[in-house]
Amino acid sequence: MERPEIPLWPRRDVRFIDSHMHLDPPEDISGVARSVSSEAVLVVCGVDRRTSEGAVAASAAYPWTVYPFVGLHPSEAEKDKDLSWIAPMLELAKGLGEIGLDPSYSPTGEGSAQLNAFRFQLQAAEAARVPVQVHSRGAEAQVMEVLGSFRTGPLLMHWLESEDVLPAVVRRGYFVSFSPALLYSKKLQRLARRCDPAFTLVESDSPVAYAPLGGVHGPALVPSVAFGLAEIWGISPVEAISVTSANALRYLGADSKG
CA–CA gap between residue 115 and residue 238 (Å, rounded):
40
CB of 104 vs Zn ion, minimal distance in Å: 14
Q: Which is nearer to Zn ion, 99 or 144 (CB)?
A: 99
Query: What is the number of other CB atoms lying within 10 angstroms of the CB of residue 94?
Result: 24
| Per-residue contact flags (x/-) with Zn ion for residues 168 to 207, judged by CB under 5 A | -------------------------------------x--
Q: Which is nearer to Zn ion, 18 or 98 (CB)?
A: 98
Q: Which is nearer to Zn ion, 216 or 235 (CB)?
A: 216
Q: Which is nearer to Zn ion, 180 or 230 (CB)?
A: 180
> How many residues make contact with Zn ion (CB under 5 A)?
2
| Per-residue contact flags (x/-) with Zn ion for residues 85 to 104, judged by CB under 5 A | -------------x------
CB of 187 vs Zn ion, minimal distance in Å: 18
CA–CA gap between residue 53 and residue 71 (Å, rounded):
10
CA 34 to chain centre: 21
Q: Which is nearer to Zn ion, 68 or 230 (CB)?
A: 68
CB of 189 vs Zn ion, minimal distance in Å: 21
CB of 20 vs Zn ion, minimal distance in Å: 6
CB of 22 vs Zn ion, minimal distance in Å: 6
Q: Which residues contact Zn ion by CB under 5 A?
A: 98, 205
